[in-house]
Each structure stands twice: as structure tokens, then as C-alpha cells.
Amino acid sequence: MNWTIALPELALAICGLVILVAGVIPKRDTTFGCTMGVIGAFVLTGVLVVSQGEGTGFGGQYVADAFSAFMEVLALGAAAASLLLALDWNEKQGLTRFEFPILVLFATLGMLVLISANDLMSLYLGLELMSLPLYVLAAIDRDNPRSAEAGLKYFILGSLASGILLYGASMVYGFAGTTNFDRLADALSASEGVSQGVVIGIIFIIASIAFKLAAVPFHMWTPDVYEGAPTPVAAFFASAPKVASVALLVRVLSGPFGDVVGQWQQVIVLSSLLSMALGAFAAIGQKNIKRLMAYSSIGHIGFTLMGLAVGGEAGLRGVLLYIAIYIAMNLGAFAVLIAMRRNGRAVEGVDDLAGLGRTDPAMALAMAIFMFSMAGIPPLAGFFAKLYVLLPAVEQGFWILAVVGVLSSVVSAYYYLRIVKVMYFDQGAEGFDPRPAGLSVVLAGTGAFTLFFFLFPAAVLDAARQAVMALIG
């Protein structure tokens, strides 16, 4: 058993246990120290991920390759940025609990296991290890009824999704005789065809993963959970778990189920169409920015599913590029949301941004960059993200997907540009409270990436291409 292939996950788990003990023992507050320790653990794990070799371990249940490395580094970066966003917020909201960063750490550990899963059993283990801390994080503001409601909704619907996944996996195992991805690929490529039981199992597995992605029609939890959960938690939900879920869906559908693409492709196409349409139209009337961002995330997931439906090297490369750019834009936008604090009180309305262009020009400029980029306006990074999923769709004849994608971008531009209009042209009240340093770091980093991506796209494109080639050969 080649256990060293999982050294990053083992190192992160050990760091988590050490930080947990360090947080419990002292009498004084250790939240800041635990947070810095977790971020340091993420950096260490990232270095190990980049430097580790390729191969499989644990009886074929774990795989390390360029694809897993690309997605794991992305998930670790998103988790670290989310913790930076939470530092000042938690202190001002009275949520300075050392458990917060540790829950983020173990959720991220589950994501790493999920991304490297090469078996339906390890897949489920990673999914549950990711999900259980997320349920607690959603309800961590125990004195806030909205947060408790968000955690309860997420837990109930998440448990249902886990049950659906287990049922689908049992169907696949019962009819194919194995849970290993490599042996499943061999079994499903046999000349005698695929039984209907396997097809039903695949659909159940796709449905459960679509819940984690908040893809239509499994999106119903997203607006309520994003609005009710503390804003840094919503930022975490909208970034790192999305990376892990996209990685899981890409690996499962292009690997063990790659030879039965005709059985699941139309499901992905339909979910992509509905997600793009709902994300574009449902966000128009939203006055709460967190709910608006929730519907926006549903629309962006529709674009990632477009690349997955198209498949091939170009389509999957577009998926990886899109999710990387989306995470940067999304974290930057949530950094602005977290900075929306007036006289010590957090505000969440779109109208609360009025006059920001005069009271805080730097933050208004950053938010404008993120909104223009999400709308797909060149030369910002969001334009290239959409371009690299739309082009393969057109080339492969997925005209309906491409047309709906373009039209949904046009519609969604309305509510993105409305935020810019409110910031620069509406009369506002007093400005927001001063920004903490961690927030400014995330704003500057994500803003620079979004604005100047067109100057260095080759590095990200090449990394995404190598990740895809490791997956599909």
C-alpha cells in the first residue's frame, strides 16, 4: 500500500489534530492563533501537493495526478482566503471561537479526499468529511435564528443528497460488480452493453453531486443558506466546496462513466440550460446581495456544466479554467460584502452600496471589476472563462447551450451593472467602517488576478490542459 501518495492529506489531518489540542488547552482566546495555524497548514499541504508524485494508493481507492493537484491547490487557496475574510468579521460579530478555523480545515481535508477519490467508497468518505463541518459552519452563529435555520435546511437536504448518492452507488455496484473507478471503466466499456440498473445508479450519483454544486433542479437550498449563514461562511460555501464538487463530477463522468456518455450527457445539458436561465432571471429582483450572489453562483455553475456536457480536451479545460476564474471573482465580491459594515453593524442590501464610489473609491473600483468580469465583459478574466466554454460548445454543435449561455450573460449583465450604477450614481449615506488588513489583501489579490488575467493566460491554460490530459489521457 503506497500510503505516501496521500502525504498531503495525512499532513493536513495531523495539523488539524495538533491545532485542535492547542485550541482546547489554554484558558485564553486562541482564535487568531488557530486561524494562522490553519492557514499555515494549508500552505504546507499545498507545497506537498505540488511536490508529490503521481500514482495510486490504498488498493486503488486514491489517485494523485496533475488533475488532483490543480484542483487541490485551488481548493486550499479558496479555503485560506475564506479564513482571512473571516478574521475581523468573527471578532466583530462575537464569533471568535477557535473551532471555526478547525471546522474549515477538516472540511477542506474532506475536499482533498474527494478530489483524489478513485473509488465510490472513498468518494463517499470524502463527501461526508466535507459536508459535516459545513453543516456546523452554516449554523455557527447560534444566537441568530437565520443562521440556525440555514444550518438546519442545509443539514436536512444534504443528508437527503448523501442518501441518494449511497443508493446510486449501491445500484452501480450491484449491476457492475465493483466500486473502483478503473474497473468500472473496464466493465462499462464491455461490448455487451450497459444495464439499466447502472444507468439509474449513475443518474442518482449525478443528482447528489448536483446538490453540492447547487445546480438546477437541486438548487433550492442555496439562497436561504447563503443569506442565513455568516457572510464569511457563505464565501467559503461559494468557493472551495464548489471546486471539490466540480472536480468530483468531472472525474466521475470522464473516468468510470466516460464510455456511457450517451446515457448521462442529456441530463448535464438540461441542468446546464436550467441553471443558466434561473441564475440569470431569478437574481434580477433580489435586493439582498447575498441572495443575489447565490443565484449568480447557480448561473455560473450552469456554464461549468456546459463545458462538461461538451467534453473532450477543450470542454474540460474550459471547465477547469472557468472554476478557477470564478473562485477569484467570487471571493473578491464577498470581500466587499464582508467590508459592508456601518457603525459596527453589518449591512447586506444592494442599496447600502450607494455612494461607495465617493466614500471608498478603491473598494468601489474592485467591486466594479468583479461585476464587469462576472458579466463577461472583455478584457477581464470572466470574459475568457465564458469564451473557453462557449467555443467548444459551438465547435461541437451544442448550439442551444451556446445561445442560452450568451443570452443568460446578457440578462445577468443587468443586475451586475445595476450594482455598479448604485455605487457610482446613487446618493449614499455615510461610508463604511475601515477595512481590516486581511480583507484588503484578498481584495487586492483577486482584483489584480481578475483585471490582469489577459496578460498571462498561458500559465493557467497550460496548467488546466495538463490536468485534463492526466484525466483523459
Dig out the grid coordinates for 90 from the structure.
Answer: 468573527
**Count of positions (residues) in the chain:** 473
The Cα 49–Cα 58 span in angstroms is 17
The Cα 61–Cα 429 span in angstroms is 57
pLDDT at 29: 67
pLDDT tens for residues 460-472? 899 999 999 988 8
Question: Which residue, 295, 318, 293, is CA-closest to 305?
Answer: 318
296-304: average pLDDT: 93
Decide: helix, strand or coil at residue 114: helix
Per-residue pLDDT band for 286 (boundaries 50, 70, 90) equals confident
Q: Give yes or no for residue 70 having a pLDDT over 90.
A: yes
DSSP conformation letters of 122-176: HHHHHHHHHHHHHHHHHT--TT-HHHHHHHHHHHHHHHHHHHHHHHHHHHHHHHH
228-255: average pLDDT: 90
Max mean pLDDT range (146-150, 197-201, 270-274, 340-344): 270-274
Q: Give yes or no for residue 374 having a pLDDT over 90.
A: yes
pLDDT tens for residues 176-185? 888 888 888 8
214-229: average pLDDT: 87
Q: Which residues, including other chains, have CB under 8 Å from residue 123's CB and lie 6 or more apart?
A: 114, 117, 169, 248, 252
DSSP conformation letters of 341-399: EETTEE--BGGGGTTHHHH-HHHHHHHHHHHHHHTT-TTSHHHHHHHHHHHHHHHTT-H
Q: Give yes or no for residue 245 having a pLDDT over 70.
A: yes
Bridge partners (DSSP) listed for residue 288? 349
239-255: average pLDDT: 90
Q: Give yes or no for residue 20 having a pLDDT over 60.
A: yes
CA angle, 230 then 442 then 409, to 5° = 80
| pTM metric for this prediction | 0.94
Q: Which residues, including other chains, have CB under 8 Å from residue 189's CB and lie 6 or more apart?
A: 259
The Cα 264–Cα 282 span in angstroms is 27
pLDDT above 90: percentage of residues in the chain: 46
351-357: average pLDDT: 85
DSSP conformation letters of 24-72: HS-SS--HHHHHHHHHHHHHHHHHHHHH---EEETTTTEEESHHHHHHH
pLDDT tens for residues 55-64? 888 888 888 8
Q: Give yes or no for residue 128 having a pLDDT over 70.
A: yes
The Cα 301–Cα 220 span in angstroms is 14
Question: Which residue, 363, 453, 445, 456, is CA-closest to 78?
Answer: 445
329-346: average pLDDT: 87
Least confident of 30-44, 318-332, 337-351, 405-419: 337-351
pLDDT at 27: 63
The Cα 260–Cα 256 span in angstroms is 9
Q: Give yes or no for residue 94 having a pLDDT over 80.
A: no
